[in-house]
Amino acid sequence: MGAPPAAQVTPTGGQTMTDSDELNSLLHRLRATTRCRVLAVLTGPQPAHALLAQLRRALATRRERRIEVWLLCSPAWLAQQSVRDQLHDLVASGVQVRTSDTPPQSLMVFDQSTALIAVDGRRPASGVRIVEDPIVVRGLEALARALWETGRSPDDDEPPPSAVEHRVLRMLGLGVTDETAARRLNMSERTFRRHVARLMARLGTSSRFQAGAEAARRGWI
């Protein structure tokens, strides 16, 4: 499916909010009242850590209400280990995550009833526009869905393992003890286990066996 044009969207009407505390309070209220779906398109070279944290907190009640959460973000975010860990946590919790180079600006749509859209994606201090007009909100959701269709799995954007990570994966494949693996790699057991934990987070797995299988599927070993 062809990518939609990356034009800035400036909906008319609504309230502009620039205070970060007020925005966090609003996100908390929307998180508490959402019943069906959240579509989040988060852009820019720097991760929106606060919004990712909000999405993670939303998972506390997500299962009870069966809320769908779709998140589209920039592949540049994957360059940071902390962000990859957050995204993998979200995926493990049932959030659908994709990356795309095309989103023009950040927007979030809650239950087809309320939308938040960045006033100026290049200047976060410009704040967000709160939109509740049903026609405009439906249009923004259609845009978010179109952008979602252009996205790809974060796995496709993951950088390959480093030389050290590759050696750690080989040790996992051999099935040796942590003590033996650490000695062969000339590192402490604690450092070896830290590398294993990071690899499991990158691979989105909860066990070493799954990590080995997923690494093989991606061609890492």
Domain boundary among 118, 141, 156: 156
Does residue 186 sit in the same domain as residue 130? no
Does residue 135 sit in the same domain as residue 175? no
Does residue 56 sit in the same domain as residue 97? yes
Q: What is the CATH number of the domain that holds 20?
A: 3.30.870.10
Query: Domain for residue 11, yes or no?
Result: no
Does residue 187 sit in the same domain as residue 89? no
CA distance 217 to 221: 9
Question: What pLDDT shows up at residue 171?
Answer: 94
Question: What pLDDT shows up at residue 3?
Answer: 44
Does residue 66 sit in the same domain as residue 152? yes
Q: 59 with 31: CB under 8 angstroms?
A: no
Query: Domain for residue 177, yes or no?
Result: yes
Question: What pLDDT shows up at residue 53?
Answer: 64
Does residue 144 sit in the same domain as residue 194? no
Q: Which domain holds residue 195?
A: 163-218
Query: Which stretches of the chain are assigned E, i.e. beta strand?
Result: 15-17, 37-42, 68-73, 96-99, 107-110, 114-118, 128-131
SS3 assignment, position 1: coil
CB atoms within 10 A of CB 64: 7
Domain boundary among 114, 139, 156: 156
Q: How many domains does one find in the chain?
A: 2
Q: What is the CATH number of the domain that holds 199?
A: 1.10.10.10
- Threshold 0.85, pTM exceeds: no
Q: Is 120 left (phi over 0), alpha (psi -120 to 50) or beta?
A: beta
Question: What pLDDT shows up at residue 191?
Answer: 95
pLDDT per residue over 94-114, tens digit each?
778 888 876 667 888 988 889
Segments in the chain below pLDDT 70: 1-14, 44-65, 79, 81, 102-104, 120-125, 155-158, 204
| Residue that is written with structure tokens 């019943």 in the block | 35
